Amino acid sequence: MKIAKALLLFAFINAAAQDNFNLVVGTYTNACESKGIYVYDFNTNTGEFKAKSNTDGVVNPSYVTLSADKKYLYSVNEDGKNSAASAFKFNAVTGKLDFINKKETKGADPCYIINDDKNVITANYSGGSITVFERKADGSLGDIKQQVKHTGTGPNKSRQEAAHVHMVYFSPDKKFVFVNDLGTDKLSIYSYNPTGGDKTLVLKESIAVKAGSGPRHLVFSPSGIFVYLLGELDGSLTVFNYNNNKLEKIQETTMGAAIFGGKHGGADIHFSNDGKYLYTTNRGDANTISTFKVHANGMVNLVQQISTQGAAPRNFSIDPNDNYLLVANQNTNNVVIYKRDKATGFLATTGKEIKLCQPVCLVFTPNK
């Protein structure tokens, strides 16, 4: 009987442990006191969190990405002409990050980063370029394999005076890299050959999107057959059907309610893990997060729009169990924790928040 009780207790503890995940947060370090990248333990049943680890002296690691095996983490260092990318060893159990090396991106202000087992790729906003680094077997960054430069302008003279690459994003099959250029109102699709050297990325096509929209972030539906594109400058949300590697626009809407009349600042876009709801953040004068119901035909309709309880909501993330949504409010130094209703998609405030200097990027990852 004692053995049975012990086994039952072990099973209960083990099951409970599955509810805890690492929450990795990238920040800006030049506006207030931040050490760079922070790791928290987050409980997806209660919304409680606890600090585990942080780096020290890492400059503006605003966006981060983890390797598929969770052993390595890569960050941008968004620092003007001194911009770079950094590699770290990552201990999922302790949350500890050990610096490996750093390489200049040769493109100013990288604002997004992705990786696979062969390459690490950055989107360089001010540089209007894409940088492809070799990823070595020990997780370190090798030399630049390829640099792709965009050119062009858009109708918004203050924001679209030059190319501004804002995102690089793998297609679900990893055969293509999608690239959003805010400055030129283009969504470019590059064929991806991981071992292609200076031809790792080969332009397949560039699609002109709504003029002046400033394409910022996109996301694929969990099914992989729809693409959702967020415009930073006008708050637009465009839905594409993705079939045979071709995009066909099927809906164009907005992430703001009809009564909204202020300045837009579209920021981030993500699906709930069950694929039923889509969320977007809006900075500018709005500081809101919007919830969209997703229909079988890929189209969406707005069902909720609420305050993010802070200013300049950048990245946000939904926990792996779909229970909580966390929003990083960059300018008010807080990560606000919302409870999700899985049936309706609605968000409700919990009163919980993580106080942290200029949080930008939020990534959930297993803690073992």
Inside any domain, residue 320? no
First to last CA, the chain: 31
3-class DSSP state for residue 362? strand
Please report the pLDDT score of residue 284 as a whole number: 84
Tell me whether residue 282 is in a domain: no
Residue 126 counted as domain residue = yes
Q: Is there a domain that residue 47 lies in?
A: no
Taking the C-alpha atoms of residue 48 and residue 316, their distance in angstroms, rounded to an integer, is: 17
Q: Tokens representing 78? A: 């968004």
Backbone angles phi and psi of 3, in degrees to 5: -65, -45
Q: Give every CB contact of residue 199 below 8 A, 6+ residues apart in sequence.
A: 146, 193
User: Is the residue at 309 inside a domain?
Assistant: no
Residue indicated by tokens 């189209």:
299
Asked if residues 110 and 77 have their Cβ atoms less than 8 Å apart, the reply is yes
Q: Measured in whole angstroms, how far is the alpha carbon of residue 46 from the centre of its chain?
A: 24
Half-sphere exposure in the Cβ direction for 21 (13 Å, CA):
22
Question: So what's the pLDDT on residue 257?
Answer: 64
- Would you say residue 270 lies in a domain? no
Where helices occur in 82-152 by DSSP H, the ranges are none
Domain tally, the chain: 1
Distance CA 243, CA 224 (A): 9
**Predicted local distance difference test score (pLDDT) of residue 260:** 60
Q: What is the pLDDT of residue 244?
A: 86
How far is Cα 302 from Cα 294, in angstroms, rounded to an integer? Answer: 9
Residue 5: predicted pLDDT: 47
Tell me what pLDDT residue 361 has. Answer: 98
Q: 3-class DSSP state for residue 98?
A: strand
pLDDT in tens, 255-299: 876 556 678 889 999 999 999 999 999 998 889 999 999 999 999
User: Residue for token digits 């394999």?
Assistant: 145
pLDDT confidence of residue 7: 45
Instruction: With beta carbons less than 8 A apart as the criterion, state whether 145 and 121 touch.
Output: no
Per the structure, the complete domain to which residue 193 belongs is given by 83-208
Residue 267 lies in a domain: no
- Asked if residue 17 is part of any domain, the answer here is no
**Residues of the chain scoring pLDDT < 50:** 1-17
CATH code for position 150: 2.130.10.10
Cα-Cα-Cα-Cα torsion 60, 65, 69, 72, nearest 10 degrees, comes to -20
For position 259, what pLDDT does the model report? 52
Q: Which two tokens stand for residue 306?
A: 């609420």
Q: DSSP letter for 14, please.
A: H
Distances, alpha carbon 263 to alpha carbons 73, 307, 328, in Å:
35, 15, 20
Residue 262's pLDDT is: 75
